[in-house]
């Protein structure tokens, strides 16, 4: 959430930045100008009334010291107090309305973020690796998975519906190997502390990271039918997490951390659950866009002056996984129109998929600055100094399912088998090749 004082003092800049995001300032800010004018008027009136009250109180004191009748002035002071209390309540109510407006306003993109309407205006920052050159026509992962007997979308649809997957044999083993490999690299080499959070969170947690109230339809809501009204939610409701970013960031909600502890770097494996609202017809083949998928998430809490550096480090940590697996990728700086609601600057890592002849997002690494910290009330305190909101960052390190399918497509062989990347061989018990599952018939 943006700082209320900043928005008041920089309303024209905020409006410009919202337009850069292809948002309508009038729609998002609503009555902000009118409410701010009313609040200023109330504050001015309050200051005048308080000055009058203080003046009368001094006169009352002087009269009483002189043993003179001050009842008329006392009555006037009493009346002023009632007016002041009423005006203060009105000013506080306006403040509440203005803060409610701020909950639906996205973060403002950094100046270096390119202005654009969609992913077409994203800017390639770097490219790594050599795109494999096959002497046969490479297949997409859904064909490979089915032929090997390790990916079963049909039975997943039978038991759960569309956008779910069942992994068999080496398919399940490869998924598990990737999770272990990613966590080990991030904790042993990159300095993250592993944490295993709950996979369900309350509404306050989703508000803290920016999913609520704007993106409720993208989430799976665990509803208590009693007293439920569609479109409504309560603080103690439970939701399936869309990403580990939510529970891990909220570990420190409503806390003030000692500056000496920063930066804090956490890595978490969790399943993730997304309704994929609005994605009907997109990526209907394979496992690109699922209701349930696995991810290893990286989350950082930093001092404001260090968040840019930590953002670069976090992105490099995610890239290091792709490089260790020898998967070609590119880093993209997202434009304003493609940057997420809570982010001020985002890099997407896109892995090359030869079976589809395109790059696909496999990690999104974002700096939220103080946006989430303000919503979740996460502060830090320097020695002898005042507390302030810290900066939060997060990124996928990596999306496990998309890494799984990238390995199938990049490491496929002419005979239909899959070569295991060298870095994963120890996690596959020494196994170097995925072959068709014996006796398997999907």
- The residues annotated with a catalytic role in the active site are 274, 289, 361, 364, 402
Cα distance between residue 60 and residue 247, in whole Å: 57
Beta bridge partners of 202: 238
Q: Position of tokens 């993106």? A: 215
| DSSP structure string for 324-382 | HTT--EEEEEPPGGGS-TT-SEEEEEEEEETTTTEEEEEEEEEEEETHHHHHHT-EEE-
d(CA 374, CA 260): 20
The sheet carrying 345-353 orders its strands as: 123-128, 329-333, 345-353, 358-369, 391-399, 292-302, 264-273, 193-194
Give dist(CA 256, CA 436) in Å, integer. 54
What separation in angstroms does the CA of 255 have from each of 12, 110, 213, 238, 371? Answer: 33, 27, 22, 22, 16
**Using an 8 Å Cβ cutoff, are 379 and 257 in contact?**
yes
Whole-number CA gyration radius for the chain: 28
Q: What is d(CA 139, CA 145) in angstroms, rounded to the nearest whole number?
A: 10
Q: Decide: 227 and 372 in contact? Cβ < 8 Å.
A: no
Helix (H) or strand (E) segment spanning residue 246: helix 245-249
Peptide bond into 171 cis (omega under 30): no
């Amino acid at each position: 959430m943006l700082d209320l004082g900043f928005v008041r003092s920089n309303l024209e800049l905020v409006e410009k930045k919202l337009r850069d995001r292809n948002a309508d300032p009038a729609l998002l800010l609503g009555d902000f100008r009118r409410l701010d004018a009313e609040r200023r008027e109330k504050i001015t009136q309050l200051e005048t009334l308080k000055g009058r009250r203080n003046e009368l109180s001094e006169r009352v004191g002087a009269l009483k010291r002189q043993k003179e009748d001050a009842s008329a002035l006392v009555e006037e002071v009493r009346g002023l107090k009632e007016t002041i209390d009423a005006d203060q309540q009105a000013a506080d109510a306006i403040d509440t309305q203005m803060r409610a407006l701020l909950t639906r306003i996205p973060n403002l993109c950094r100046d270096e973020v390119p202005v654009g309407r969609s992913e077409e205006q994203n800017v390639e920052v770097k490219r790594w690796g050599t795109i494999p050159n096959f002497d046969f026509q490479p297949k997409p992962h859904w064909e490979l998975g089915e032929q090997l007997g390790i990916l079963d979308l049909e039975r997943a649809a039978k038991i759960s519906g569309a956008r779910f997957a069942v992994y068999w044999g080496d398919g399940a083993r490869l998924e598990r190997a990737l999770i272990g490999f990613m966590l080990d690299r991030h904790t042993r080499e990159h300095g993250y502390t592993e944490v295993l959070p709950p996979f369900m969170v309350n509404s306050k947690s989703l508000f803290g990271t920016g999913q609520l109230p704007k993106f409720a339809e993208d989430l799976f809501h665990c509803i208590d039918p009693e007293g439920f009204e569609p479109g409504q939610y309560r603080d103690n409701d439970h939701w399936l997490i869309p990403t580990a970013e939510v529970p891990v960031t909220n570990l420190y909600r409503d806390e003030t951390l000692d500056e000496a502890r920063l930066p804090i770097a956490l890595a978490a494996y969790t399943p993730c659950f997304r309704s994929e609202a609005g994605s009907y017809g997109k990526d209907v083949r394979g496992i690109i866009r699922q209701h349930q998928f696995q991810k290893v998430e990286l989350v950082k809490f930093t001092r404001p002056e260090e968040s840019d550096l930590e953002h670069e480090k976090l992105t490099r940590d995610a890239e290091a996984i792709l490089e260790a697996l020898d998967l070609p990728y590119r880093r993209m700086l997202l434009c304003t129109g493609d940057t997420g609601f809570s982010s001020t600057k985002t890099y997407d890592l896109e892995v090359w998929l030869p079976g589809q002849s395109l790059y696909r997002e496999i990690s999104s690494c974002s700096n939220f600055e103080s946006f989430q910290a303000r919503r979740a009330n996460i502060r830090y305190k320097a020695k002898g100094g005042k507390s302030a909101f810290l900066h939060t960052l997060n990124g996928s390190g990596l999306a496990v399912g998309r890494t799984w399918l990238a390995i199938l497509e990049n490491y496929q062989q002419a005979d239909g088998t899959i070569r295991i990347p060298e870095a994963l061989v120890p996690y596959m018990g020494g196994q170097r090749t995925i072959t068709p599952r014996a006796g398997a018939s999907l």
